[in-house]
Amino acid sequence: MTTLDDVDRAILEQLRLDARVSMTAIAEAVHISRAGAHARIKRLTDAGIVTGYTVRTDPVLLGHHASAYVTLAIEQATWQEVSARLRAIPEIEHMALVGGDFDVILLVRANDARDLRRIVLEDIQSIPSIRSTRTTLIFEDFALI
């Protein structure tokens, strides 16, 4: 297990703010050499702490005019099967197995209300191990990082 120090955390924060930031800019921001920054990022990547780099997009500008959180109650022993089926639905942007009143929460991005209806009622609810769903519409959402 890799132990993180304050410099590692500062590097991760720089990458969270802008994954395209240059190695030189990271080194300057955290007050280490460029080679030191490179070595630390390689160590964080090799340890599995950094798992990739992403781009944040505006769902509405991409044509996704309907978004919702969909919660699922599933048969407990079927999580692997359910997660595999859900991963095959391209409109599901995020999926988490959780504890509480429901078992799974999904972030679904759809073209419009009709498309969202199809995804929930036909694609998701057709999975046999799903006992129930609850859909909460998103009126507006923001990335905080």
pLDDT bin (cut points 50, 70, 90) of residue 143 is: confident
User: Cα(99)–Cα(101) distance, rounded to whole angstroms?
Assistant: 7
**For 4, phi and psi rounded to 5 degrees?**
-95, 135
Beta-sheet strand order (sheet of 104-110): 92-97, 104-110, 66-74, 130-138
Report CA-CA distances (Å) from 127 to 65, 96, 117: 25, 17, 15
Residue type, 116: L
| pLDDT for residue 145 | 67
pLDDT tens across 61-76, in order? 999 999 999 999 999 8
Query: Which domains, from first to last, does the chain contain?
Result: 6-46 (1.10.10.10), 66-138 (3.30.70.920)
pLDDT tens across 91-127, in order? 999 999 999 999 999 999 999 999 999 999 999 999 9
pLDDT tens across 26-57, in order? 999 999 999 999 999 999 999 999 999 888 88
User: Cα(85)–Cα(99) distance, rounded to whole angstroms?
Assistant: 20
Q: Which pair of structure tokens corresponds to residue 3?
A: 């132990």
